[in-house]
Amino acid sequence: MPPQNIHVIVRIRPLNAQEKKSKKIKRAIKVVRTGVDDRDLDLSPNRVPGAGGLVQVELPNDVRLPTVNSTKKSNGKIDKTYKQYHPAVAFPPSSTQQEVFHSSNLPSLINHSMNGYRTTFFAYGQTGAGKTFTVLGEDKKPGLLFRAVNYLFKSTKLKSENEKMKFTIRLSAIELYNEQCFDLLTTGHARMKPLQVREHNKQGYYVDRLTGIRCINVNQCIHTIKGAVRQRTVGGHQMNARSSRSHLMITLYVDGTYLASTGASTFGRITIVDLAGSERLKDTRSGNVKESGFINKSLYTLGKVINGIAKNGGTLLPGTTRRHNQNIPFRESVLTKLLVQSLGGENMCAMCACVSPGNHVTGETVRTLGFAMMVKGIMNHPSIHIDEQEKLVTDLKKEIEKLKRENIQLKHMVIEVSQEASLASTKSGAQNHLGLVSEIDHLVGGTGTKVLQNGGDGDDDGEEYFQFDDDFEEEEEENNISYDDEYDEEEGEEEKINFPTISSRYNEPSPSPSPPISPISSAPSSPHSPSLFPTAPSPMKSNIDTSQRVVQLKAMLTEAKMQFQSDGNEIHPHILQLENELEDLQKELQLSAQLAGLGVSLEDSGEDPDGKQQRALEAMIAATMSTAAGDGDGDGDIDGDGESDGESDEEEKYSEQQYYSEGSGSIPSSPITPNPNNNSNVSNTSGRSNPFNWDESQGEGENWRNMWENSLRILADVDEGDAAAKLKQLELLERGGVNLFGDSKKKTTTKKTKTKKKNRRK
Ligand SMILES: Nc1ncnc2c1ncn2[C@@H]1O[C@H](COP(=O)(O)OP(=O)(O)OP(=O)(O)O)[C@@H](O)[C@H]1O
């Protein structure tokens, strides 16, 4: 809140009966302009009434003041001399209590006290000028204090409803008598015991051990105040039958707590002061000189403080008043100690200068009004009072809640990042894909699962993982050796050794056995004739299930591989190998599906007593596999060892017997780049062309179809009726739009294929 001047109003009491009777006493003061307008009837919270009052005091002829106005007689001589004053509002003698309350800024002060400001309203003036009447009033004319109490309770009720606040109002009442502070809310011995006025480094001066009574409602509060006022020291003298012999200070502590939002508490106050009146002993003829002396002393000190503050530029200097305001004698009186924050300090303040109307006290009236104008020039710096510790606690609670929320979010982020890091890291990534690798290994008949079980200890550390890699390489070699050993034992049965690894998968129980999709032939396998595709309850279903799983695994593997790569990790050779093996497996499954779809099953081998049909199929499959896994350079050197991979004695034997002309001896190494040696049509026993003669001018699928047609024609030569039927079936399927020979992709040489070739060579 910006600095603001002390709000000064002037009230002129009416002439009392005695004064009216006196022929010597005349009205010497009048209100030229009240400063009250229609807006002053509006008690809006922050309305500060007073458009600027004007009071004019007629001075006695013997009084000469610096700035006066005068009227002159017709002869040019001065008739009357006036002194004018400009309070915020001037109240003539006819003003009612209610008008004064409404047009004072007391409602505004009360509103500010509910917001946490400390405010002071004090009545100042000569004894008998109407201070007590203005503050306390009479039974039927309650003064501003009781109106303020009424207004405070109504306002807190309204504010608590509108702003979800809870207010607590407490009351204290003291009198400063003979420079001592007495608690008016106590009785007996306590009432007579003066209280200490102490100084707090932040709160300023305060009355120690002062009683505070909580006020529940207006009536209780007013009743309490009246009880306190009854204990005030009063005495009669010449100028006032019930003259206040002490300064009365009634304070209403307005503690507000915001129930919603911040929960902060405000600690406002409204202190209403009825000062004892300045008096001249010769006028009052008071018998208690000491009492009058203290009154005058405190008022005199108040005057000096006001004067000192005015010299200070109208305000207290910042910082501690003790050190920085040495020229302001506020410590010389208890009154000024307790009022100092209202006079140029942090409190909001208003003053009502009460004056008597008669010309017999013009001197005191001029002095009061002069004092009022000096007070009017004092600038206060109102500051709101919120419990700093409580506000700090509230702010910290909010901060803690905010941090808790952030912490939860961060924890989630950490978990996510950890999971990503775990997946991306070579160690954890591999272990996350352990199941995947294991399944692929198992599917392709490899040993990955076993290796993982042997090499991985389940600990989540990279060292174990790399240990696992080393183990795997060793195991892989052992398995290769194992294959070789197995092959050696079954010498000459190359395909029989290699293919069972594949066909064994068909022995796995199908999760949901179902009839073959299009079984053309499902004859039981012959125990006397080794089959490439041993009997399975539902080979087609198993085949399809496996194919789907292979596709899924391949996608998962590709994803894992991309994850590794995107995170900058080196792709482990095992992953690459598994990827190649999956592709091999896909090709093999495709072939088996095509065979099954065509009804070309080795279950028919029972009708092939000499084994020609079977050997023809096996040779075709082997050729197809070799083609699919070709090295791509057309030289037949699939494993890159510089030798033609078609030089196996067994393969040459098959070629010579079944398909190829003498001396060719080579299986087409690549469907894309045909072996020039095999590019010409090669006669077989039926005089048909080489079935593996790949024609680049045709599509890949067309080449495959031709190859199969040729194969079936060869078979038809062996068993014309059955093979011819199968060929017709093929044609029907093709004609029906069934694409049995989708595009095949060029393959890279795989380690497993190389192993097969090595085995073949052996
Ligand atoms: N505005 C007023 N209207 C009617 N009567 C008033 C008014 N002001 C004061 N009086 C009467 O004048 C008398 C003196 O008033 P009051 O006691 O309030 O003076 P005071 O300034 O408090 O004097 P003191 O300093 O001695 O206590 C009282 O009888 C009071 O009723």
Residue type for position 620: M
Do 733 and 740 contact (CB within 8 A), yes or no? yes
Residue 363 lies in a domain: yes
Give the CA angle between residues 650, 655, 660 to the nearest 5°. 160
Q: What is the mean pLDDT for each group of 10 consecutive residues in the chain (762 residues)?
A: 88 93 89 72 51 84 68 75 90 93 91 94 94 94 96 94 91 92 91 90 85 94 94 76 86 88 81 86 62 85 89 68 69 91 90 94 91 91 75 65 74 64 50 55 46 36 32 39 38 34 33 34 33 35 59 72 68 66 69 55 46 55 46 36 40 38 34 34 35 59 66 57 62 56 42 49 50
One domain, residues 506 and 647: no
Do 172 and 251 contact (CB within 8 A), yes or no? yes
Q: What is the pLDDT of residue 75?
A: 79
Tell me if 354 CB under 6 Å of ligand 1.
yes
95 CA closest ligand 1 atom index: 1
**Rounded distance from Cα 128 to ligand 1 centre (Å):** 5
Tell me if 130 CB under 6 Å of ligand 1.
yes
**Rounded distance from Cα 244 to ligand 1 centre (Å):** 10
One domain, residues 501 and 633: no
| Helix, strand or coil, per DSSP, at residue 160 | helix
Residue burial 451-474, b: 16+ Cβ < 10 Å; e: rest = bbeebbeeeeeeebbeebbebbee
One domain, residues 623 and 556: no
Q: How far is CA 668 from the centre of its chain?
A: 68
E-strand stretches of 97-164: 118-125, 137-138, 141-142
Residue 593 lies in a domain: no
Q: What is the pLDDT of residue 712?
A: 61
Tell me if 16 CB under 6 Å of ligand 1.
yes
One domain, residues 13 and 48: yes
What is the radius of gyration, based on Cα positions, of the chain? 57
One domain, residues 549 and 624: no
E-strand stretches of 637-749: none
User: The dihedral of CA 640, 748, 740, 596: what is its sign?
Assistant: positive
One domain, residues 608 and 565: no
Structural domain tally of the chain? 3
User: The dihedral of CA 304, 310, 316, 317: what is its sign?
Assistant: negative
Which residue, by CA, sits nearest to atom 16 of ligand 1?
130
From 9, 126, 132, mutation site for ligand 1 pocket: most ligand atoms within 8 A of C-beta: 132
**Rounded distance from Cα 141 to ligand 1 centre (Å):** 12
Residue type for position 697: S
716 DSSP 8-state letter: H
The annotation status of 131 as a binding-site residue, yes or no, is yes
Cα–Cα dist 308/552, whole Å: 94
Do 665 and 658 contact (CB within 8 A), yes or no? no
From 94, 100, 240, mutation site for ligand 1 pocket: most ligand atoms within 8 A of C-beta: 240
One domain, residues 169 and 295: yes
Q: Which long-range contacts (CB under 8 A, 24 or more apart) does 216-225 make?
A: 217/153, 218/149, 218/150, 218/153, 221/149, 221/153, 221/169, 221/171, 221/252, 222/146, 222/149, 222/150, 224/171, 224/173, 224/185, 225/145, 225/146, 225/149, 225/171, 225/173, 225/250
Cα–Cα dist 303/315, whole Å: 14
Cα–Cα dist 454/466, whole Å: 12
Q: What is the pLDDT of residue 393?
A: 64
Residue 624 lies in a domain: yes
- Please compute, for residue 22, the number of CA atoms within 13 A of its CA located in the half-sphere on the CB side: 12
Which residue, by CA, sits nearest to atom 8 of ligand 1?
130
**Rounded distance from Cα 44 to ligand 1 centre (Å):** 29
Token pair for 316 = 């207290």
**Rounded distance from Cα 298 to ligand 1 centre (Å):** 21
Start-to-end CA distance of the chain, whole Å, equals 101
Cα–Cα dist 344/335, whole Å: 15
Q: Which residue in this structure is represented by tokens 């005191």? A: 364
Which residue, by CA, sits nearest to atom 14 of ligand 1?
128
**Rounded distance from Cα 218 to ligand 1 centre (Å):** 25
Q: What is the pLDDT of residue 527?
A: 34
Strand-pairing partners, residue 138, are: 141
Residue 624: domain span? 600-762
DSSP-H helix ranges across 256-320: 281-284, 289-311
Residue 537 lies in a domain: no
One domain, residues 115 and 191: yes
Residue 728 lies in a domain: yes
One domain, residues 492 and 361: no
Do 275 and 131 contact (CB within 8 A), yes or no? yes
Give me the phi and psi of 150, to 5 degrees please: -60, -45
From 9, 10, 11, 13, mutation site for ligand 1 pocket: most ligand atoms within 8 A of C-beta: 13
Residue 140 lies in a domain: yes
One domain, residues 46 and 187: yes
240 CA closest ligand 1 atom index: 26
Do 325 and 337 contact (CB within 8 A), yes or no? no
The annotation status of 568 as a binding-site residue, yes or no, is no
Residue 420 lies in a domain: no
84 DSSP 8-state letter: E
CA-based nearest residue to 60, from 356, 495, 363, 514: 363
For residue 134, the surrounding DSSP H or E stretch is helix 131-135
Tell me if 286 CB under 6 Å of ligand 1.
no
Q: What is the pLDDT of residue 316?
A: 74
One domain, residues 234 and 346: yes
Cα separation values, 449 from 423, 481, 482, 543, 750, Å:
20, 18, 16, 22, 19
Is the ipTM, as predicted for this complex, more than 0.95? Answer: yes
Tell me if 630 CB under 6 Å of ligand 1.
no
Q: How far is CA 292 from the centre of its chain?
A: 67
Token pair for 3 = 């600095």
Cα–Cα dist 561/219, whole Å: 85
Cα–Cα dist 630/670, whole Å: 5
SS (H, E, C) 543-608: HHHHHHHHHHHHHHHHHHHHHHHHCCCCCCHHHHHHHHHHHHHHHHHHHHHHHHHHCCCHHHHHHC
Residue 592 lies in a domain: no
| Helix, strand or coil, per DSSP, at residue 9 | strand
Neighbours of 753 (CB within 10 A): 24
One domain, residues 557 and 616: no
Cα–Cα dist 584/625, whole Å: 8
- 204-207/29-33 β-pairing: unpaired
Tell me if 144 CB under 6 Å of ligand 1.
no
What CATH number has the domain bearing residue 91? 3.40.850.10
Do 160 and 153 contact (CB within 8 A), yes or no? no
**Rounded distance from Cα 124 to ligand 1 centre (Å):** 12
Contacts of 672 (CB under 8 A, 6+ apart): 630, 632, 694, 696, 700, 746
For residue 112, the surrounding DSSP H or E stretch is helix 106-114
